[in-house]
Amino acid sequence: MPTGSDLPRLMRRHPAPPVRMVHLGPGAFFRSFVAPMTEEAGGWGIMAVALASGRAREELGPQGGVYTAVELGPEGPVDRLVEVVAGVLVAAEEPGAVLAAMADPGVRVVTLTVTEKGYRPDPGDMDSPRSAAGWIVAALARRRATGVAPFTVLSCDNLAGNGHVIRDAVLGLARARDAGLADWIAAEGAFPCSMVDRITPAMTEADRAALAERTGVRDAGAVQHEPFAQWVIEDRFVGGARPAWETAGAQMVGDVAPFEAMKLRCLNGAHSALAYLGWLAGHGTVAEAAGDPVFAGYLRRLWAAEVGPSLTPPAGVSVPEYCDALLERFRNPAIRHQLRQIATDGSQKLPPRLLAPIRKRLAAGRPVPCLSLAVAGWMAHLSTDLLQDPMADRLRAVAGDPEAILRVAEVFDPALAGTPAFRTTILDAVDTLTRDGARAAVARLAQEA
């Protein structure tokens, strides 16, 4: 059988549905989550738009937008062909085509996965769009000028209040350009919040080779993901126009915040704790760390004693049952979710994942040893070669000095950092981690549970 580049390339078998949705940021999470669920909903084709990199176009373009999504279950992989992507554009190279797509009256929803750091407008947006907010404003301005209703902007990124975040960015940029445009967007547009949950490990060359062996074709755009998926969406869309995502398992709700807080603190907070402490203890993946009895005991205490009590869960949802299911997901041996991947962009992730529950527990006069040790692990991470962060230069300058790190206001709210109880618990955790090492420090907390 031919191998590697000798194999025929994967090709489209069926035409994509009519384009009714544009997505900004067609990376692995979009392909593993947003696109498959939109395909299941039926009838909504997607035009994928990369803001700067041509990688997605190189991977998907020659394949007609089609690719394989590999579900990694304990019993083995399940391959699914996804054909909902009608095309791929690169905004930096094809600005006219991107604006035309976003201004098309048939497009009713613009989704985006541009990561936490992608929500800041670019200084050059006033001249020509560069950021996600810049493209959205430019497209909405064109729609207003031609008498077309605005599209709904739906963030699918993993950050608190994501709809509010992109709305603020868009309205701020629009107001700097034209107050009337900003007023029109505020009155007529919609920016619902959503909560997304699916683990999507990076595809390795070995994974691609195994897929090629199974299918007999070469797929440059393939992605992989766990079986579990949860999408909670605030049901507020311009004119009610949206895919029937509920038929694909999405939960359409009036308020996403309780689901979001539970996921950010329980799942993402635990991921961050494992990323820093697990790696320091010698583990490489989430499954390895969660399979270590010491770290499993630490997670149980983290959830039961510190994170769970900081939450007001959605009606009918049991936090202990949710966390039990999380531990099983973490232990899935087919998911090789690299801790170094989770550790990136920590300055953006710490406030909602770890610092928010710390603030709430300290305000109630309750101790937070597990959360504090995770923060100490992030501080130790700043001194390693693995640091990848939008604030990397700033953080490297204070690495090794916990007092200086606590003065980085972009991470630590001064009102929290100046609280004696907070400073004491964090500095004590740093001392413990330095003295005992990660695994011993984690083991002590697990034994005390």
Kind of pairing between the strands at 19-24 and 45-50 = parallel
Q: What is the mean pLDDT of the segment spanning 441-445?
A: 96
What six digits make up the tokens of 44? 């909504």
Q: Which residues pair with 224 in a beta bridge?
A: 70
pLDDT > 60? residue 2: no
pLDDT at 126: 87
Provide the percentage of residues in the chain whose pLDDT is more than 70: 99
pLDDT > 50? residue 31: yes
Residues 111 and 162 sit within 8 Å (Cβ to Cβ): no
Please tell me which residue, 30 or 200, carries the higher pLDDT value.
Answer: 30
pTM listed for this prediction: 0.83
Place of tokens 């054909």: 83
Q: Which residues pair with 223 in a beta bridge?
A: 69
Q: Let me know the angle formed at the C-alpha of 312 by 306 and 313, rounded to the nearest 5 degrees.
A: 100
What six digits make up the tokens of 42? 């039926």
297-349 tens-digit pLDDT: 999 999 999 999 999 998 888 999 999 999 999 999 888 889 998 999 999 99
Q: What is the residue-averaged pLDDT of the chain?
A: 94
What six digits make up the tokens of 406? 């606590």
pLDDT at 4: 57
pLDDT > 90? residue 160: no
Place of tokens 């949802």: 317
Collect all residues with Cβ–Cβ distance below 8 Å to 417 and sequence separation of at least 6. Answer: 406, 407, 409, 423
Collect all residues with Cβ–Cβ distance below 8 Å to 405 and sequence separation of at least 6. Answer: 379, 382, 395, 398, 399, 411, 412
3-state secondary structure labels for all residues of the chain: CCCHHHCCECCCCCCCCCEEEEEECCCHHHHHHHHHHHHHHCCCEEEEEECCCCHHHHHHHHHCCCEEEEEEECCEEEEEEECCEEEEEECCCCHHHHHHHHHCCCCCEEEECCCHHHHCCCHHHHCCCCCHHHHHHHHHHHHHHCCCCCCEEEECCCCCCHHHHHHHHHHHHHHHHCHHHHHHHHHHCECCCEEEECCCCCCCHHHHHHHHHHHCCECCCCEEECCCCEEEEECCCHHHCCCCHHHHCCEEECCCHHHHHHHHHHHHHHHHHHHHHHHHCCCCEHHHHHHCHHHHHHHHHHHHHHHHHHCCCCCCCCHHHHHHHHHHHHCCCCCCCEHHHHCCCHHHHHHHHHHHHHHHHHHCCCCCHHHHHHHHHHHHHCCCCCCCCCCHHHHHHHCCCHHHHHCCCCCCCHHHHCCHHHHHHHHHHHHHHHHHCHHHHHHHHHHCC
Q: What is the mean pLDDT of the segment spanning 49-56?
A: 95
90: confidence class by pLDDT, cuts 50, 70, 90:
very high
pLDDT at 284: 95
- Among 271, 119, 282, 267, smallest CA distance to 196 is for 267
Q: What is the mean pLDDT of the segment spanning 47-52?
A: 96
Collect all residues with Cβ–Cβ distance below 8 Å to 404 and sequence separation of at least 6. Answer: 398
133-154 tens-digit pLDDT: 999 999 999 999 999 999 999 9
pLDDT > 90? residue 374: yes
pLDDT > 80? residue 279: yes
3: confidence class by pLDDT, cuts 50, 70, 90:
very low
pLDDT at 378: 98
Residue-range domains of the chain with CATH: 4-253 (3.40.50.720), 257-447 (1.10.1040.10)
